[in-house]
């Protein structure tokens, strides 16, 4: 068992992998006060532990890694706000977006029969579009570029989303997670603020949200949620993009912005804010933003080796309510 300050006890069975040095070579166990180095099971985030503090190193498939301090967390009641992930946690859509990644890779390969492997799943969900595509380019078609892949991605996305919004297209692409409606109404009735957070671009996230709210009969999502933060708008030739491809989950900025800017809650009050996630990248994002994290079953938290970062792990929304009441 190893103690990582601000995280706690980490065992060999936690899903973490213990390392002798950070992958960028800047830190090594036993040197400059480093007590231990541990990485999430998927290798996306490495934790460098000192005597009384821990740094997180977020790797980047796009070449822009970053270091962040890790803050200790606990749940302070009454809970003031709940920050919720979109894909997987609020809306079941992961299969659809993995399918779009698969279509994009098939287009790059010129092979319409191409299919992703099971081993690809942790790398084509939970991160940014560019990182998903970077994985596929490196593995399946290293002679092509992410920029080419992005062109195919948005071509397939526009076509399929247009078909869905017109009532055609892939059946049951976006469905509310079981129990979501009652959970949201319970939070509203308790005057708990609700923020929706996604690494997805607005043009792909909004049809998901709108579709789910139509199904639940909850009206306009923009009027229901207290804040909605997406990864913005993609950069395309002749258009203006917004920041979002290099700063998504597992970086902390989407969750930090939703809480501090969207909900107006100061960092000192962060323990009264709960984050809900079903992905390893999302769990890291919430924790690095400084919020207690409730992991939701059904995603890749266990397979990504990030369970140790969760304050609690729940099977459904009723279990979440029992924790925050």
What gap in Å lies between CA 27 and CA 203, rounded to an integer?
40
SS3 155: helix
Please tell me the total number of residues recorded for the chain in this structure: 325
Q: What is the pLDDT of residues 101-146, one digit of tens each?
A: 999 999 999 999 999 999 998 889 867 888 899 999 999 999 999 9
Angle at which helix 94-109 crosses helix 146-165, to 10 degrees, equals 130
Q: Is the pLDDT of residue 37 over 90?
A: yes
Domain boundaries, the chain: 2-69, 81-92+177-324, 94-165
What are 243's strand-pairing partners? none
What gap in Å lies between CA 105 and CA 112, rounded to an integer?
9
The CATH H-level superfamily of 81-92+177-324 is HAD superfamily/HAD-like (3.40.50.1000)
Residue 214 in contact with residue 182, Cβ under 8 Å? no
Q: What is the pLDDT of residues 81-91, one digit of tens each?
A: 999 999 999 99
What are 277's strand-pairing partners? 295
Average pLDDT over residues 89-96: 91
Residue with tokens 């990182």: 131
What are 56's strand-pairing partners? 47, 68
- The confidence score (pLDDT) of residue 191 equals 97
Q: Residues near 140 by Cβ (< 8 Å), separated by ≥ 6?
A: 105, 108, 109, 114
The rounded mean pLDDT for the chain is 94
Q: Which two tokens stand for residue 226?
A: 């207290």
Q: Please, which pLDDT band fits residue 170 given cuts at 50, 70 and 90?
A: confident
Which of 33-37, 51-55, 134-138, 209-213 is the least confident region? 209-213
What are 46's strand-pairing partners? 39, 57
Q: Is the pLDDT of residue 308 over 90?
A: yes
DSSP 261: I
Q: Which two tokens stand for residue 181?
A: 């409606």
Closest to 309 in 3D by CA, of 194, 321, 289: 289
- The confidence score (pLDDT) of residue 287 equals 98
Q: Which two tokens stand for residue 166?
A: 């017109």
């Amino acid at each position: 068992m190893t103690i990582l300050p601000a995280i706690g006890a980490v065992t060999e069975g936690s899903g973490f992998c213990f390392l002798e040095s950070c992958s960028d070579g800047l830190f090594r166990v036993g040197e400059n006060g480093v007590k231990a180095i541990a990485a999430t099971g998927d290798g996306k985030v490495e934790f460098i532990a000192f005597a009384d503090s821990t740094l997180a190193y977020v790797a980047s498939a796009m070449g822009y890694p970053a270091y962040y301090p890790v803050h200790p967390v606990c749940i302070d009641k009454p809970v003031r706000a709940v920050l919720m992930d979109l894909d997987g946690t609020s809306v079941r859509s992961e299969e659809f977006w993995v399918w779009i990644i698969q279509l994009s890779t098939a287009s790059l390969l010129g092979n319409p029969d191409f299919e992703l492997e099971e081993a690809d799943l942790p790398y084509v969900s939970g991160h940014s579009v560019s990182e998903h595509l970077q994985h596929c380019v490196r593995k399946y078609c290293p002679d092509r570029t992410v920029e080419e892949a992005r062109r195919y991605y948005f071509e397939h996305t526009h076509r399929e989303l247009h078909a869905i919004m017109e009532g055609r297209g892939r059946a049951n692409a976006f469905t509310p997670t079981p129990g979501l409606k009652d959970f949201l109404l319970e939070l509203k009735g308790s005057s708990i603020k609700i923020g929706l957070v996604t690494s997805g671009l607005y043009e792909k996230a909004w049809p998901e949200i709108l579709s789910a709210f139509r199904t639940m009969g909850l009206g306009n999502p923009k009027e229901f949620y207290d804040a909605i933060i997406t990864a913005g708008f993609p950069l395309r030739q002749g258009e203006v993009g917004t920041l979002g491809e290099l700063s998504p989950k597992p970086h902390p900025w989407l969750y930090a912005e939703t809480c501090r800017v969207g909900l107006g809650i100061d960092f000192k009050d962060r323990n009264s804010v709960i984050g809900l996630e079903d992905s390893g990248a999302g769990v890291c994002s919430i924790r690095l933003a400084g919020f207690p994290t409730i992991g939701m079953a059904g995603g890749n938290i266990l397979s990504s080796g990030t369970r140790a970062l969760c304050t609690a792990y729940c099977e459904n929304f009723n279990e979440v309510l029992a924790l925050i009441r």
